[in-house]
Structure 1
């Protein structure tokens, strides 16, 4: 007869060891950074760029790029996903500069040329530091926050404590903890996640227009996560659907570029609903012919 108590202790021990390992090693699963040499030269065809290095209060260096246009309508702070560096992500700046907007991109700590010890708190502090530097030169009503995948959560955080013109979320998740739970359903994710990134919590405090773009065939972050997010601040939110879009290919859809152009070039108009059908109830009574 098997000793069930002994077996249970072994299983529990393995469970605890796995939980501790995931707690300390999760950065290797979450972040996929690309390191760049300090003397690496950025180049993009038909783009005017200026590289910047900002030193934080703890001595870290945040490296980024400023894509410039003449007489900009505003500036887009583009927060990228969890992989590579701005060397590759920079190609997406053209989707905004073509509409007359400057674009600022940065690498998180440990990505590209950026340095410093990475932590959830440090990343949030770095992004607010960069936002403040932009705000010193540009009125907030001209600042657009754009968050892509992992960056969508951090963009929501910035929007929740600042007053940008608008917030655009590209393939956002409800929370990173929810995404992790999908892959490790039997682990105590809520306890071990050092980067929970609860987008849904931060959206509750956003007061600017919120635009959410998501592909219906996204296998990493399901489309339904954006549906749930759109219900948090429904009066401020509009959900844009890319039929057939996956997680990494929305830029290859004409509909994406059409939607993006409509979003960043739109002007918020007040609606007069007094002469519409809103509030009109359908009668359930039979009406004589």
Structure 2
């Protein structure tokens, strides 16, 4: 339950001993049931998963807004941090969810941050995202990852497809330039917006998650 009384759904796959847990923030119009194969691959090595279904999405009450989604993220983080040490929490945002993940990582302690197909602000990608529903809540000053990412202290991995036609890779590169070290940018030649698993995204993320902090 969020601080404003909405009930949001999370899917929880417990981490095996010694493994991290991924706190996953999906894209716009993304339903968890459609990501079962991806989640299975994410957790196949014992990594845990807490996947959030935003307000207004399947199983969750309320209407989406930036503030609402950030409250959903806070509730999901509270659920996760009650069960796992902060240094073992890996926030992973995809597409719209990268803005949620950056906002959370700027305010809460986490172990690592993964951004898949990120943007600098909602205004930059509004034209592309307005093809999907529900997007009426995207305002000009919403999800300013460009203003928040400098407050992130956790190690960062950005993954982006070179041929992403929804959120151009230039936005990911721009956000990367604004972020502090330690950081990595992985470009997938030929990769699009929603197919990076076919190019090795899960394996790339796993190496990053399992790398010892130096």
**TM-score normalised to structure 1 length:** 0.67
Q: Establish whether residue 100 from structure 1 lines up as the match of residue 78 from structure 2.
A: no
Match in the other structure for 1:70: 16
Q: CA offset at residue 92 of structure 1? A: 1.4
Match in the other structure for 1:199: 145
Q: Which has the larger radius of gyration?
A: 1
Q: Secondary structure at the match of 2:178?
A: coil
Q: CA offset at residue 194 of structure 1? A: 6.3
**TM-score normalised to structure 2 length:** 0.89
Relative contact order higher in (CA < 8 Å, ≥ 6 apart): 2
Equivalent residue runs for 1:108-257 within 5 Å: 108-180=54-126, 193=139, 196-253=142-199, 255-257=200-202
Match in the other structure for 1:17: none
Asked if structure 2 preserves the Cα contact closer than 8 Å seen for 1:72 and 1:102, the reply is no
**Structure 1: unaligned runs, 5 residues or longer:** 1-54, 185-191, 270-289
Task: For residues 171-210 of structure 1, give each alpha carbon's deviation from its aligned partner in whole angstroms, at most 9, with x where no partner exists.
Answer: 11111111126799xxxxxxx8167211111101000101
**Structure 2: unaligned runs, 5 residues or longer:** 131-137
Q: CA offset at residue 221 of structure 1? A: 0.7
2-side partners of 1:183 and 1:131: how far apart? 26
Count of equivalent residues: 207
Q: Establish whether residue 264 from structure 1 lines up as the match of residue 209 from structure 2.
A: yes
